[in-house]
Structure 1
């Protein structure tokens, strides 16, 4: 007996026993945490494997110092006769795309354009759009992808903020170019017109179609090499204040987005992808066409989205993967059921903004095996992906790595301002199921973590938050408020009061406020987004102080139509005697946003924009909007 006790009391046995007890105690105390880690391990392992693939390829491309055009050249060599783009009744092979791309490069090289020169691209979706981008990038010129909905001041501003030396415009947008020219814009600018089909051009415009026929489709001979960390595009974002900002997209970021989308969503070169989104945005112009340029995936381009043609197109072109934004899904599910709803071969739809309320209905009705929801901004480093179809989630982070991963939610107050600890002055992490603004740690020259900013350096600095968790550290401010649940899934809550999203576009409230104030003299105007049942995003609403009752709503409607794209025009206008002053208006804006356009509780006059004019919003019209009878 004594011998047994001696063995049991040896230091090694005692030590192991203590460790066992401590381990069991930890398991009991943190049993919920260990349970969550166990339950989410299949998701996290799959995510880690796919993420590792992305990192490996980014590392390889960085070592090679390759640019987007060089990767495309390798794909052309591999699939010369394969269809690169389907467009209407056209089929463009990879060889044909390459030929026009090289002609664009050689033409503009001959015209004297060099590395670092920016060229505005103002065209609707078509294969030539991609060739213009690629061709310019091959010689190091930087295409500035301008939203084709812009007119007058926003259009001229976008051209100027990117310091463009020329404008390539599609003939279909000639009237918009002419309007700016008549107002004194584009003075001395080289204007190149594409796709005129023999129609007369604007005065001083250069016939680009003819010019491209007179040059060779051989690879351009450039003196200044273009590499992995050079600028590729300017993509415009509404941001949070003022007119559109030109976000810098480097070749490295294009690689990150395309490789990320490919591996995280499990895409294949055998897929046929449907892209009905505008190519001037990241989802269409990077994630969409990137699958063709980097992997040889055939892509279907459509000039503009059509709900009635969506599934017919998918059937016609034998589409297997389709892109979406939330508005597309809402439009599709609002269409009357047809025999085409399930005749397609679509195995995956990926994008952002699919609302939880319609997610399962959408999947069930159209028979979509997998939804790949994602979250991110054009310029930011806060990117999340939902790889397992969790309803409503925009992405996830492993719960075991929340303290060491470079993305974090921090506490905000009711106005959206970040809250700091009174003692340390540092930001405060949110707990599970608390809402907070998403921040991303900035790591220079890292394709995944860098924040490349905008053409305007001052705009870049406004998006950087310093001394977040330690003195001097730097984080990118997403401007978005999200919630993370116990299992590490993120859910979109809302943008701050500085922007709202409508018709698939981000709208800067400051920009709209500026336009209204300039039209209405010095009257105060506050713009915000309001929710409408059954609609994706928030519709614009303007509260205008007009104590004297002098506002001419007809003039206002006409002016807004001229200066703002359709998605940015306030759908509702509320006329008040005064707007309470609160410094930045944020608190008052929050109150107004909560009140919305409910005429049952608002005593001020409220107007609704329809038929190019504002009409009084009465209870009958209000009920029609709320019930979905009124098409917005």
Structure 2
């Protein structure tokens, strides 16, 4: 049997097992139906291997046809006896979607399995594409065109040069640069010799930036000339950077390099463009790079991205959203993030699609770019869709060739309006996290859904919504079994997935520090002794097993397309308030995605200098992490009810009609008192956040 056939059989068996498991659950809750079940299921289970052969070989023997007919009668009796009308209705209504999803997912598994058998790393995919179509455009950037041959040769030069400098497998190099083709070539080239790049958010400054370099034990830093000032801010004091080689890229001929910084472009330009010999030693389970996520211990956490993790993310979108190798993909999202840097880049590197890289997202240029480059697939975040809708209508809204928008965070309220105004036939909403081991995909453009699971297999899947305490965030457990409790349809819960070590989908690699890793793992979830990854996201599932995002839990919130760590912001703010107690949390603002940052500071004497605080926040935090609202408290309970207090503050938000404390609004870099009139301007959208 071929690999493709085995994969199809595996998926089919898994699907059938889910059906039988569901029947058993229903039956033993309704014991009067057990005799009917015995008659029906005995035929359904009869000679399952024959069914497998039929699925693979298409052999319709008379014996098998007879058994299939009898089994079908048994199946029908079981359905009539066991399933009420409502359940039967939902099962059949979801069936076309389920079959489409299963078929596409089988292709994902098949590709991952092929890569595993052939030890095909990400860099090998790129080289294969460069051999198949060397002159095809891999990256468009402004007026530049980078062919697959150019990308391969430039990445080879990078690998060979750093190899000559003594860098080897297991080393880490920090990469701090804005979007451009060189960015991808750098981490690809480094990985060809086994060096892991740490992709640092280019918005970070001072302590957060230095922490990201130190936490991965970087042996060098490569930064873009546009970020020279940020690098100089952290090299002025004595720290690890004084001992590291620093490379600057993109300074041009008219700009002088900072003292002690090496010319990356000049050095790499003289290296060999032949494939580094070290590339043959790379394995599928080796590290590709680090991506940073918001920390719950005060600073960003470095998540390890293995080769197969990158492939899984890119493959998932490619097949589940039906992206083609002839598509031209538009990527205006940060390349240090999963969506832009893994999913977007992966379409070019793995599958040979052409990728348009934009330095930064621009609502006014979005559709102009799509027209200019003949884009057929565009990536989005929920915030970008709202910004696009906020632009004045123009002929360019529908003059493009975009057939698919792929991304995450598109709100239910604007979904239909967005698709209609910009004439988008398909919206491929997906759900996943950088380091997580569970992903969902919307394969039929269901409005508002982040994805689905087949109804027949939900009860046996090692992924589920788990009931959690609203205030503590801890899983609620069954008193008899001690296991976590799965949510029923329309019950909100935290998405969790069983961890299976070294599995390309179910593994959780964790972070560079064990403490952060352990906080994302919960034990005894589906069975005694198991472990599962905590997503930190609250979702809800409807009767058709569509999933909808509801909220985030814990110590992070999402704003401007970024995850914000409340503890990181708190630790920085306290340095400008004489270390007064402070609580940072996200609050909902009408007609915006995510939550805006708000800080409550205990300052009964009002001694905090708001000008110093505002200036310190602007200097130390990226724009998306800066609190927009400030509340002055007389006191705060920091005992065991701290989380309860935080939930109450979050629910009260910035509504000055209900809050007696002073509330301030950050505008143009200064805090001004928030009154009812100003609040109405914010809520109506007259003042844009």
TM interval, shorter chain, is over 0.9
- Alignment counterpart, residue 107 of structure 1, candidates 144, 161, 167: 161
Structure 2 partner of 1:144:
198
1:195 aligns with 2:250: yes
1:174 aligns with 2:231: no
Are the aligned partners of 1:241 and 1:509 in contact in 2 as well (CA < 8 Å)?
no
Gaps of 5+ in 1: 1-13
Are the aligned partners of 1:464 and 1:474 in contact in 2 as well (CA < 8 Å)?
yes
Deviation at 1:182, TM superposition (A): 1.2
1:126 aligns with 2:180: yes
Deviation at 1:184, TM superposition (A): 2.6
1:283 aligns with 2:339: yes
> 2:95, 2:310 → 1: CA distance?
30
Change (3 A) 1:580 1:316: same
Deviation at 1:590, TM superposition (A): 0.9
- TM-score using structure 2 length: 0.88
Change (3 A) 1:214 1:622: same
The one-character-per-residue Cα deviations of 1:413-436 (angstroms, maximum 9, x if unpaired) are 222322122343221111110001
1:292 aligns with 2:345: no
The one-character-per-residue Cα deviations of 1:193-231 (angstroms, maximum 9, x if unpaired) are 000102111111111111011111111122871110000
The one-character-per-residue Cα deviations of 1:450-484 (angstroms, maximum 9, x if unpaired) are 00111112211111111113221010000111101
Structure 2 partner of 1:78:
132
> 2:332, 2:180 → 1: CA distance?
11
Structure 2 partner of 1:463:
520
Deviation at 1:98, TM superposition (A): 1.1
1:229 aligns with 2:289: no
Q: How does 1:235-384 map to 2 (within 5 A)?
A: 235-384=291-440
> 2:101, 2:81 → 1: CA distance?
25
- TM-score using structure 1 length: 0.95
Are the aligned partners of 1:523 and 1:544 in contact in 2 as well (CA < 8 Å)?
yes
> 1:404, 1:243 → 2: CA distance?
37
- Alignment counterpart, residue 562 of structure 1, candidates 619, 631, 655: 619
Give 3-state SS (helix, strand or coil) of 1:274's partner: strand
> 2:100, 2:331 → 1: CA distance?
27
Change (3 A) 1:239 1:22: same
Q: How does 1:394-543 map to 2 (within 5 A)?
A: 394-415=450-471, 416-543=473-600
Deviation at 1:557, TM superposition (A): 0.9
- Alignment counterpart, residue 393 of structure 1, candidates 446, 449, 459: 449
The one-character-per-residue Cα deviations of 1:490-542 (angstroms, maximum 9, x if unpaired) are 01010014111000000011111111223323321111111111111110001
Are the aligned partners of 1:497 and 1:586 in contact in 2 as well (CA < 8 Å)?
no
Are the aligned partners of 2:452 and 2:546 in contact in 1 as well (CA < 8 Å)?
yes
Are the aligned partners of 2:194 and 2:279 in contact in 1 as well (CA < 8 Å)?
no
> 2:618, 2:268 → 1: CA distance?
36
> 2:125, 2:355 → 1: CA distance?
17
Are the aligned partners of 1:410 and 1:427 in contact in 2 as well (CA < 8 Å)?
yes
| Larger deviation, residues 55-64 vs 422-431 | 422-431
Are the aligned partners of 1:497 and 1:528 in contact in 2 as well (CA < 8 Å)?
no
Are the aligned partners of 1:497 and 1:589 in contact in 2 as well (CA < 8 Å)?
no
> 2:103, 2:396 → 1: CA distance?
36
> 1:21, 1:61 → 2: CA distance?
38
The one-character-per-residue Cα deviations of 1:91-133 (angstroms, maximum 9, x if unpaired) are 1111111111111011101111000100000000000001101
> 2:185, 2:401 → 1: CA distance?
29
Are the aligned partners of 2:192 and 2:279 in contact in 1 as well (CA < 8 Å)?
no
Give 3-state SS (helix, strand or coil) of 2:600's partner: strand
Are the aligned partners of 2:466 and 2:496 in contact in 1 as well (CA < 8 Å)?
yes
> 1:124, 1:392 → 2: CA distance?
31
| Larger deviation, residues 112-121 vs 465-474 | 465-474
| Larger deviation, residues 580-589 vs 348-357 | 580-589
Over the residues paired in the alignment, what is the CA RMSD in angstroms?
Answer: 1.8
1:604 aligns with 2:676: no
Change (3 A) 1:388 1:240: farther
Change (3 A) 1:151 1:390: same
> 2:643, 2:215 → 1: CA distance?
27
Are the aligned partners of 1:526 and 1:585 in contact in 2 as well (CA < 8 Å)?
no
| Larger deviation, residues 476-485 vs 399-408 | 399-408
Structure 1 partner of 2:271:
215
Give 3-state SS (helix, strand or coil) of 2:407's partner: strand
